[in-house]
């Protein structure tokens, strides 16, 4: 190795690599952030946020998930103006913020330097994480709050400072205010916490009762405040929970957006194959490895000023000892226990979402984050080849990320779910120069968002097909109808059929799916909701 290269290598620290990774994450999430039109759901979320800003009204409805997204988006609109770009800024920040949390776990000695660097890079470039960090919906916030809760809770156990548990409580509460799957995550974490207590692998700080009281006040204070719309609807404190359970159990049973139990496995094969394969290897490696410490098995060298990895628990309180078997105090390896937690978290998440009836691509995130930690753990076993393998994985993931996030056209991908078509761009340009528009269809989205406020005054919304004489009498510049409920022609108008929104049209029963060819070519069939656009002919 050249002396200059060796000198540079000797001066590069974990902090430098993670900081560079953070810059990469920022670039991938913020570059051309408004390149694509809002997804169908994004338009709805943005419109409700705009209504909250302009009218001050909000009432929790489980169909549209928790209040957190609407309050923070309305706040962004108030400060920076209402637009697609502004609406996506906070999700992008949340996606970037996962990287510092990895570094925090490393500083707490729950991750080796290698695992931290690999996990940070995968979090920065994983296609689904990048895609849904550039997307106005709740899941990226739930993922961020989940990892923040873990890091803050571990910091509380380590530092014994009340404000770390308070931060963990706030993270859990804001996750609860984001989406109705957060209780599943809290239960998953809680079971593992009880396991750690039972096996005497952790102990509670001396003043844990005081800290717990503060945390409970913060937790329920945030939840009650947000779900009651800042106390303007106090009845929702008692009603929100039952409403959420009733609605989402009904959606689970109805399977409104159905898919097979292997739906998310197929998503990972399509977008995160290197991470998936490494994670599967990581589970096996973790199960078969002996009692050596994680740092030893992965070849990590421990510096002289680093605290010991194996620590004896501190004295416990009477209440904490109630949860433990009467055995001798256990010695723990922090890194090994965190990997045990990551494997457990990943497996429980994958099984949970495989069972849940509604299958949508953004729920992959809740399985992908723990999967990344397990994959990073596995890659450290590659010996001197780990950097080469990491580079290969990074290239594959980066290429897929660039394709799904930056293609300025309609793409046949399941990750898009129901995306508003780029065909709408020239249509909206024509609408911008028109005075009267007729919507003779039941589809008002995304027009309600893109022509919010006074801009909506030029629209006449009929909610369905009308008699042609009614439309002709309206003297409209543009008439928009569903192509299945349309007209052969309208006198004085030219007709064009375009996509309103679209999705990957999967083959039906008995058809040849052609998945192998699709995997490499991405030449899939696009299904779409089409509209006929009648534009007044020039005189």
User: pLDDT tens digits, residue range 166-193?
Assistant: 999 999 999 999 999 999 999 999 999 9
Q: What region, left, alpha or beta, does residue 65 occupy, with left being phi > 0 and alpha being psi -120 to 50 degrees?
A: left
Q: How sure is the predictor about 305, in pLDDT bands with cuts at 50, 70 and 90? A: very low
Q: What is the mean pLDDT of residues 74-101?
A: 97
Instruction: Name the percent of the chain in helix, strand, coil, to the closest 5.
Output: 60, 10, 30
* Lowest-pLDDT range of 131-140, 311-320, 356-365: 311-320
Pairing, β 310-311 against β 332-333: antiparallel
Contact at 8 Å (CB) between 115 and 162? no
pLDDT in tens, 391-442: 999 999 999 999 999 998 889 899 998 999 999 999 999 999 999 999 999 9
Q: What region, left, alpha or beta, does residue 255 occupy, with left being phi > 0 and alpha being psi -120 to 50 degrees?
A: left
Q: What pLDDT, on the 0 to 100 scale, is given for residue 292?
A: 61
DSSP label of 258: -
pLDDT in tens, 116-170: 999 999 999 999 999 999 999 999 999 999 999 999 999 999 999 999 999 999 9
Token reading at 132: 């849904």
Token reading at 251: 């959606």
pTM: 0.91
Query: Alpha carbon of 82 to those of 19, 71, 175: distances in Å?
Result: 31, 13, 24
Q: Is the pLDDT of residue 325 over 70?
A: no
The residue assigned the tokens 């996509």 is: 499
Pairing, β 478-482 against β 437-440: parallel
Q: What is the mean pLDDT of residues 23-29?
A: 98
pLDDT in tens, 228-256: 999 999 999 999 999 999 888 888 887 77
Contact at 8 Å (CB) between 111 and 338? yes
Nearest CA among 94, 105, 95 for reference residue 14:
105
């Amino acid at each position: 190795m050249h002396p200059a290269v060796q000198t540079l290598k000797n001066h590069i620290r974990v902090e430098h690599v993670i900081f560079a990774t953070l810059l990469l994450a920022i670039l991938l999430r913020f570059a051309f952030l408004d390149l694509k039109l809002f997804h169908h759901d994004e338009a709805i979320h943005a419109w409700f946020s705009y209504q909250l800003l302009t009218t001050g009204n909000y009432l929790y409805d489980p169909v549209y998930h928790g209040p957190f997204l609407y309050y923070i988006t309305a706040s962004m609109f108030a400060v920076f103006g209402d637009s697609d770009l502004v609406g996506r800024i906070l999700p992008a920040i949340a996606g970037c913020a996962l990287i510092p949390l990895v570094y925090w776990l490393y500083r707490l000695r729950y991750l080796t330097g290698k695992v931290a660097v690999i996990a940070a890079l995968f979090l920065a470039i994983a296609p689904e994480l990048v895609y849904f960090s550039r997307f106005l919906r709740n899941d990226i916030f739930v993922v961020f709050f989940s990892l923040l809760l873990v890091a803050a809770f571990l910091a509380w156990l380590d530092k014994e400072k009340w404000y770390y548990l308070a931060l963990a409580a706030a993270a859990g509460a804001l996750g609860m205010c984001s989406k109705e799957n957060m209780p599943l995550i809290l239960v998953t974490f809680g079971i593992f916490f009880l396991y750690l207590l039972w096996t005497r692998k952790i102990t509670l700080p001396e003043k844990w009762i005081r800290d717990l009281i503060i945390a409970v006040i913060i937790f329920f204070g945030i939840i009650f405040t947000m779900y009651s719309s800042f106390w303007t609807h106090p009845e929702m404190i008692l009603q929100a929970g039952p409403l959420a359970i009733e609605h989402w159990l009904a959606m689970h049973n109805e399977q409104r957006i159905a898919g097979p139990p292997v739906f998310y496995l197929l998503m990972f094969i399509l977008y995160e194959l290197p991470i998936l394969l490494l994670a599967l290897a990581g589970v096996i490696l973790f199960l078969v490895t002996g009692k050596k410490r994680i740092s030893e098995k992965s070849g990590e060298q421990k510096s002289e000023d680093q605290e010991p990895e194996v620590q004896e628990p501190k004295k416990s309180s009477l209440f904490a000892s109630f949860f433990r078997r009467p055995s001798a105090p256990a010695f723990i390896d922090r890194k090994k226990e965190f990997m045990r937690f990551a494997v457990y978290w990943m497996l429980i998440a994958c099984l949970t979402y495989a069972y849940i009836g509604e299958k949508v691509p953004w729920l992959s995130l809740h399985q992908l984050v723990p999967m990344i930690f397990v994959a990073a753990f596995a890659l450290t076993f590659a010996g001197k080849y780990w950097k080469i393998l990491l580079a290969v994985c990074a290239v594959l993931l980066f290429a897929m990320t660039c394709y799904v996030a930056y293609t300025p056209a309609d793409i046949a991908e399941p990750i898009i779910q129901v995306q508003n078509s780029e065909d709408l761009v020239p249509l909206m340009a024509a609408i911008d120069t028109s005075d009267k528009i007729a919507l003779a269809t039941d589809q008002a989205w995304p027009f309600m968002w893109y022509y919010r406020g006074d801009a909506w005054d030029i629209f006449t919304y009929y909610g369905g097909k009308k008699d042609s004489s009614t439309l002709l009498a309206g003297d409209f510049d543009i008439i928009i109808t569903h192509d299945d409920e349309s007209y052969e022609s309208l006198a004085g108008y030219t007709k064009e059929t375009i996509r309103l929104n679209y999705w990957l049209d999967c083959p039906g029963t008995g058809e040849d799916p052609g998945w192998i060819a699709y995997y490499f070519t991405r030449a899939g069939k696009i299904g779409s909701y089409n509209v006929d656009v009648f534009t007044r002919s020039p005189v």
